[in-house]
């Protein structure tokens, strides 16, 4: 009878898997750190009832919590360059984003996602 789990294969694959751990930890730590700052700003905006910013914060949190993280990653990777290109053409900016590594777009997506979820946690505490 065939085994459900091939432990020999899992042990052989372990060094390959462990090579990705530093990148995963970097993404998690950076997203949590900057997401914490963003969440505090959003929670303070909602706490002090800043008229327009409160509505924008609610919209942001609802959007970020309502869309899957994979969609947010695609929006960060493909959408941000389109927005910046449009700003360059419309307002004659000279921002060149062709040299930005792809990992920075991952940082942006995870940070915005973490900020939205953490802001709800802070909003419950205040």
Taking alpha carbons only, the member of 41, 45, 43, 61 closest to residue 53 is 45
Task: For residue 43, give the H/E element and its range.
Answer: helix 21-47
Residue 97's pLDDT is 87
Taking alpha carbons only, the member of 34, 37, 55 closest to residue 45 is 55
pTM of the model: 0.87
10-residue mean pLDDT profile of the chain (126 residues): values are 82 96 98 98 94 96 98 96 93 89 96 97 79
Residue 126's pLDDT is 63
Residue 78's pLDDT is 96
DSSP-derived secondary structure letter, 48: T
Residue 4's pLDDT is 83
All domains in the chain, ordered by first residue: 23-125 (1.10.3720.10)
């Amino acid at each position: 009878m065939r085994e459900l789990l091939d432990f020999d294969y899992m042990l052989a694959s372990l060094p390959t898997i462990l090579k990705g751990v530093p990148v995963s930890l970097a993404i998690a730590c950076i997203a949590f750190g900057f997401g914490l700052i963003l969440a505090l700003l959003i929670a303070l905006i909602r706490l002090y009832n800043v008229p327009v910013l409160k509505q924008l914060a609610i919209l942001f949190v609802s959007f970020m919590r309502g869309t899957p993280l994979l969609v947010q990653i695609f929006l960060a990777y493909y959408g941000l360059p389109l927005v910046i290109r449009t700003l360059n053409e419309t307002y004659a900016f000279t921002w060149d984003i062709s040299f930005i590594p792809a990992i920075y777009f991952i940082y942006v997506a995870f940070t915005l996602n973490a900020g939205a979820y953490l802001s709800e946690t802070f909003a419950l505490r205040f």
